[in-house]
Structure 1
């Protein structure tokens, strides 16, 4: 091949072009086995760095284990090189079999880390990103027919199983960060146990930390376990006593480190949204420090935010500049690229959202971090750095992260597993089984949404719902919009609620101006309609003044990146509806008929999230679990309440049991439409209350009393042969829990 391209042999070329790094041409030209091209000098430079990684010491042991076993577990901490090297070795293993069993996929729990790792590995393999090495994250695919090693998020691999349930496209599957215990990773670990029995040629590698190895060995049985030695941790300093005022203690420590003038950036791990307050305080205090100490630049980092790697690797603009990274408890593994960090401050606490199935709501709790997280943070600054732990060394921490499947709403998980059963996979063998109460609530909710048939399997509408990448309630609302001819508007609502909030937090002193700007988009019917107004204004500005759309967002205190994400989600949802041949209506937003139809579609999915103002002063009673709540102050009703008054009946998108105890994204409804859209067997299962009595009376006065004695009859949305949604009767003479 080389001679046909150049007219010369290896030996002839070696005299003309000596290689700066690595083997000389006199030793014979080495070709990349993945693309057939000669290696660049950078490949040899990176190869030297790769061989210095801790994981390289176990390469031979790993390759032997992979050749002789279906499943291999590798344990070790961050900065050992496991996430970059092991996928490459798996790619070489699949190449040796000429990819007859498939290519390689490696999952991550964070989409930004997917991109960072793919870029790094493509560089190390001396190939182009998007060709031999690629990645897939939500709303973005960078792969081709030539891709042999693919990085992706764990949820994207799960969704891929809907069309390829036995993952026959892959010869080797790597589950990285198994210790993070995300819902998607736990499901993958459970389903792969069954898939391995069906595909004896498949290889699965699980990358985790030592604290989880016993649980994996107990789950999978006798399998090879390879331990990667870690480098010496940094100097660790523990607090003498439990410090309840960890927030200000951490900030004082940052200032003390900065006064020492020691080189290196600082990472501070806080709990949740505290990072924003910490940034404001450090910016204020930094201006009061003497100029001889240099500039202190606080940088807020959230797990999953875009462009994280450039923040970590970008060199400071001045030698006297020190960056202070303010991070949340999640995403510690992402710091493998941070070479400038010399100090780590660990507050030892985290805020988590835990789902309560009884009230169908999340609650925010403050709890200690796990021992795994504590050990990982001690490794981040390297052997020459320091880690300050603001808790006693004798603190009893949980060995590993709590499985998210025990703390999350698993209704989407149950819908997916029901779909997998249809595809031929058996029951998912969970490492930690979901809570029975949460599982019953998930089955009940799917039953209410008409996603299950009389035997507890997916109904026709349930199968369609599983195709749509949305929460089940929103998927049902989108399907119902086909019947009510408001798909265009419901697509916008679904996209805006799936994307991050489009409202920017205003700078200090500009709160009133931000509220005034947001008020221009407010719709009298509620927040769902306000979101449509914002999206339509964004698109109109995008068409008319494309180059100023970012400034337009800034002027109106709107998040441009969030609106772009909503735009991408809406496009994906549109493609999905087109693929499954569901009709998409023309826009008719603003008409009375369209307004009523949007509310009908919303109630078709969210009839379980209804509240009533019981005293006319904003004290709302939630019908499903009899909790009292109120509307969030930033709702459009917050600005209108004094002028127009609050609506009596509302449908809400989200309710959180926390300090503010608020409903978010609220729109007014009429109880008559609620009665029309909610299945009657759900209505009769509502707990007794004054609000239910009012609805009961309306049923009688509207001539619907005959249904009181026929509780087995209910109207649910089904799917006709043409792909549109129709109302179909279905009997429920069984227990609603399968």
Structure 2
């Protein structure tokens, strides 16, 4: 690689010249944009040199030149996430970008944006030009971008059109220790890409001990171990996980009353607890003496849009309490004022349940990993205090459990099938998915007509993979194009993909919030209610006296979530137009439109049908023979005692831990289900009274020639025995 030796030889000279530089001298030219460096560049350069990663710069560049894969192991605040991508950009520049530029994946949108802004500042270039970022629904890049930060899902989708990532010379995978599904997929697929592109370099940034697992997986590859920042005083307690939430809040308030300077970081179990804790802390702070100074609760939670305000300098005589949860440790890389850390030591994770034929999710409370615990302890530096609200001798798991072992992997299976078509037929998983879960995923894709008779992607499957939706929702959206209700289905898909627009009722206002939300309820079900909310939200844009934020506040709805849904809807609309699928005019409210929306929903979600077995809301699910209640926030849950519940419903989600509830429920007729469900799916349903009722309806319709004829889009589909049927439309 031409020029690499010159960079390596010049590193020591550069550091010597940096030390001798005085601000009165002529400014050097920036190698990336050809302009003179600003004085700020040199100030930031002195800060960069104090980072633990800096002393490994020469060693890193040598290893990068001589190895295809390089692992860098270090905790938060070592500087690896800001410095290493810059050094990779220098490496690509030395080769005149003949092998490509640099991309750095992150697991959080917020992290990708913040790192891009910081690195652009340190490199003294413009954001959106030499340095850029790409996150879902937002891109800030140009043809001149030589270092791009993006979320791991964005990079995966880019591989669909560029499977060998030929645009890049170096791929940096950050936060590999978090073991997200997308990051694990990237790490597995890149092994195959490296075989076909020997000039490509892959740098994996991780935290110990997860880096040891990666080293074992990749074999004889170099691993650069960075010195960890010193931890301060660590104090353990014997609190149980049941009382750790309030213990953490009491401790945060006691720290504030002690008047010891410094900000506080509190780690709770879930995003819901973060929201609740911020409300409590804000309320308690208003009651405190003014002499203690201002106490500000700052939610730092990646999963919720709009929950992460910009991190700025803390005002004098003010203390910030950063309230966070799992997967948020790396968001603290820019906060240098943390003196106290309060760690509850537990997290809530939503996991998929893979008992035979049970497709459900459950929220599990469990201890954090040693990896997370160590990162949190080192956020305070050597002079701070970390209060661990769990016993010192508690046994924490060494690493964060891989998400791919706990998630519904139907989307993953669809993506891998698409990559097979692109020539990347092997994914070298660090942790292989459960075989039963993989078989269920392929079975579901088969039911959705995403696979052909040979197990490859069908034409329908190819189009489904183009949509950034789960396969069931993608199939429902494509079906809506045939049923002339694409406009309404776009809204449903966007609302269910975005974070929930419903705000949890504040204490004492449950009834008032419920009454507000009931104004939007639609008699046909919750999917139709979501359309009502979105349409009313859009009309509020034209309201001369209220902003959208005021309108949402009045109706206890989340404005950020609705704005995200609006952006997702626009993105999905663009995709449908790009692949030249028809988008009908909105006709919401008509009888025909209502029927067509239900047909489109059934095309994707026929596996999620349930029947009220006793008229009291005990819904028996056809696929897994479990019984569940309608969630209390459902429109049917609110009016159950007044109007009664429908016998047959389609539901979007089944959660075991949430009081064994089905959520987002819409009334469906048995005849519509029989029309839309594939015959081979219906035949494979386990025996039950509900199936017998459906079979009776089917037999009666056949003998009476009263069954609804298939729509024109219907084609024949297979059964297990190979017979042909015409019952399933939109195949």
Q: Shorter-chain TM-score category?
A: over 0.9
Query: Which residue is equivalent to 1:452?
Result: 451
Query: Which residue is equivalent to 1:329?
Result: 326
Q: 1:361 to 1:417 in 2, by over 3 A?
A: same
Query: Which residue is equivalent to 2:188?
Result: 190
* 3-state SS in 1 of match to 2:542: helix
TM-superposition CA deviations, 1:511-547 (whole Å, max 9, x none)? 3222222222111101111111111111122134386
Are 2:149 and 1:151 equivalent residues in the alignment? Answer: yes
TM-superposition CA deviations, 1:349-372 (whole Å, max 9, x none)? 111111013311111111110000
CA contact (8 A) 1:112 1:305 kept: no
CA contact (8 A) 1:493 1:532 kept: yes
Counterpart CA distance in 1 for 2:159 and 2:701 is 47
Are 2:474 and 1:475 equivalent residues in the alignment? Answer: yes
TM-score by length of 1: 0.92
Counterpart CA distance in 2 for 1:546 and 1:152 is 38
Q: What is the Cα deviation at residue 339 of structure 1?
A: 1.6
TM-superposition CA deviations, 1:479-520 (whole Å, max 9, x none)? 111111111110010001111111223333333222222222
Taking the TM superposition and a 5 Å limit, the aligned residue runs for 1:453-602 are 453-545=452-544, 548-602=547-601
Please, which moves more after superposition, 210-219 or 594-603? 210-219
Taking the TM superposition and a 5 Å limit, the aligned residue runs for 1:393-412 are 393-412=392-411
Query: Which residue is equivalent to 1:200?
Result: 198
CA contact (8 A) 2:680 2:720 kept: no
Q: What is the Cα deviation at residue 395 of structure 1?
A: 1.6
CA contact (8 A) 1:22 1:41 kept: no
Query: Which residue is equivalent to 1:711?
Result: none
RMSD: 2.3
Q: What is the Cα deviation at residue 295 of structure 1?
A: 3.3
* 3-state SS in 1 of match to 2:311: helix
Taking the TM superposition and a 5 Å limit, the aligned residue runs for 1:344-383 are 344-358=341-355, 359-383=358-382
CA contact (8 A) 1:266 1:344 kept: yes
* 3-state SS in 2 of match to 1:90: helix
Among candidates 196, 218, 221, match of residue 220 of structure 1: 218
Counterpart CA distance in 2 for 1:26 and 1:393 is 54
CA contact (8 A) 2:109 2:302 kept: no
Counterpart CA distance in 1 for 2:476 and 2:672 is 14
TM-superposition CA deviations, 1:702-738 (whole Å, max 9, x none)? 01799xxxxxxxx999xxxxxxx922112234699xx
Q: What is the Cα deviation at residue 131 of structure 1?
A: 0.4
Q: What is the Cα deviation at residue 659 of structure 1?
A: 4.1
Query: Which residue is equivalent to 1:681?
Result: 680
TM-superposition CA deviations, 1:422-474 (whole Å, max 9, x none)? 00012211010001111111011001101011111111100110001100000
Q: What is the Cα deviation at residue 206 of structure 1?
A: 0.4
Among candidates 115, 118, 142, match of residue 117 of structure 1: 115
* 3-state SS in 2 of match to 1:333: helix
Query: Which residue is equivalent to 1:15?
Result: none
Q: What is the Cα deviation at residue 90 of structure 1?
A: 0.3
Counterpart CA distance in 2 for 1:494 and 1:22 is 59
Counterpart CA distance in 1 for 2:562 and 2:238 is 47
Taking the TM superposition and a 5 Å limit, the aligned residue runs for 1:225-240 are 225-239=223-237
Please, which moves more after superposition, 501-510 or 33-42? 501-510
CA contact (8 A) 1:611 1:620 kept: yes
Counterpart CA distance in 2 for 1:408 and 1:112 is 23
Taking the TM superposition and a 5 Å limit, the aligned residue runs for 1:239-250 are 239=237, 244-250=242-248
CA contact (8 A) 1:699 1:705 kept: no
Kindly report structure 1 stretches of 4+ aligned residues shifted beyond 6 Å: none
CA contact (8 A) 2:617 2:630 kept: yes
Query: Which residue is equivalent to 2:729?
Result: none
Query: Which residue is equivalent to 2:656?
Result: 657
Among candidates 154, 163, 183, match of residue 161 of structure 2: 163
Q: What is the Cα deviation at residue 311 of structure 1?
A: 4.7
Counterpart CA distance in 2 for 1:66 and 1:601 is 51
Taking the TM superposition and a 5 Å limit, the aligned residue runs for 1:19-58 are 23=21, 28-58=26-56
Q: 1:38 to 1:502 in 2, by over 3 A?
A: same
CA contact (8 A) 1:236 1:389 kept: yes
Counterpart CA distance in 1 for 2:308 and 2:595 is 47
Counterpart CA distance in 1 for 2:285 and 2:516 is 32
Query: Which residue is equivalent to 2:15?
Result: none
Please, which moves more after superposition, 69-78 or 327-336? 327-336
TM-superposition CA deviations, 1:124-168 (whole Å, max 9, x none)? 000110000000000000000100000000111001001001111
Please, which moves more after superposition, 679-688 or 256-265? 256-265
Counterpart CA distance in 2 for 1:156 and 1:141 is 10
Taking the TM superposition and a 5 Å limit, the aligned residue runs for 1:68-83 are 68-83=66-81
Counterpart CA distance in 2 for 1:37 and 1:205 is 29
Taking the TM superposition and a 5 Å limit, the aligned residue runs for 1:305-344 are 305=304, 310-316=309-315, 318-319=316-317, 321-344=318-341
Q: What is the Cα deviation at residue 21 of structure 1?
A: 12
Q: 1:512 to 1:25 in 2, by over 3 A?
A: closer
Counterpart CA distance in 2 for 1:716 and 1:72 is 57
Counterpart CA distance in 1 for 2:32 and 2:389 is 48
Q: What is the Cα deviation at residue 41 of structure 1?
A: 0.5
CA contact (8 A) 1:716 1:728 kept: no
Counterpart CA distance in 2 for 1:688 and 1:621 is 12
* 3-state SS in 2 of match to 1:77: coil
Among candidates 708, 715, 725, match of residue 728 of structure 1: 715
TM-superposition CA deviations, 1:234-272 (whole Å, max 9, x none)? 111122576653223223322322222101111111111
Query: Which residue is equivalent to 1:710?
Result: none
Q: What is the Cα deviation at residue 218 of structure 1?
A: 2.1
CA contact (8 A) 2:305 2:560 kept: no
Counterpart CA distance in 2 for 1:75 and 1:619 is 51
Counterpart CA distance in 2 for 1:171 and 1:427 is 21
